[in-house]
Amino acid sequence: MTKNETKIRKQIIEACLLMEKKGLNQGKAGNISVRWKDGMLITPSGISYEGMKAKDIVFVDSKTKPHGIWKPSSEWRFHFDILKERKEFDAVVHNHPAYGTGMSVLRKDIKAYHYMIAFLGGDTIKCSTFAVPGSQELSDAALKALKGRKACLLANHGTITCGKNLDEAMFLTEEFEILCKQITIAKINGKPQLVEKKHMKKIIEAIKMYGKY
C-alpha cells in the first residue's frame, strides 16, 4: 500500500466520521467510494466507522473483484457503475440523512424551490424508482436518476451525491441535506414557491464558472 493510497483510505474514513458528526448519517448506514487506479476504494460492509483503519477499506478492481480483509459495501454496484459511467466524478457518497431520506419516501423529484439546487447539476433533483438495496436494478435506477446531475434521491432509501473529488462530494452532500431540510420547513409553514425557469437557467450557467477565473 503506497503512501498516497493510505492517505486516500484515511480521507474516506474521516469523511464517514464527519457525516456522522454533522448528522448526515448514522450507525453502519451509508458508504463512500473514491476512484483509485483501474477501480475504486470503498468502505467495507457492516463495519462501524468508529475504529475503522486504513487497512479496512476495500479495493474493487476493474473486473469487480474485491481485495481486502472485508467484503465491500453491499452497495458497491452503484458506486462502481457511477464511477465507470461518469468519468467526471472521482468520489461517490451514499447516505441516509433524515430530511433527504424523508424526501425519498415521497418518490417525487425535488423542484427548484431554492437556487442552490443548481449546484447539484440542474433545476431538479431526480428520484429513482425503488429497487432492492445492493441489486443491479438499484444501480441502473441510480444511474438513470443521476443523468446530467451530481445527486439523486433513491426511492424509500436515501441519497447519492457525486463530485470531482471527495471534498466536492462531501460539500454537496451537506448542501443536499440542508436543501431538503429547508424545503420541508417551507412545506410545513405554507406552499413554497419555485424559482422561475428563466432565472434558474441563468443561475445554472453562472455556476459552471463558479470558483473559476
What is d(CA 62, CA 59) in angstroms, rounded to the nearest whole number?
10
List the catalytic residue out of 20, 50, 75, 196.
Answer: 75
75 is an active site residue: yes
| SS3 state at 39 | strand
Full DSSP string of 2-16: -HHHHHHHHHHHHHH
CB 188 within 8 A of CB 100: no
CB 110 within 8 A of CB 183: yes
Q: What are the residues facing 163 on neighbouring strands?
A: 91
Q: Cα 48 vs. chain centroid, distance in angstroms?
A: 19
**Pairing outcome for strands 158-163 and 151-154:** antiparallel
The residues assigned a catalytic role are 75
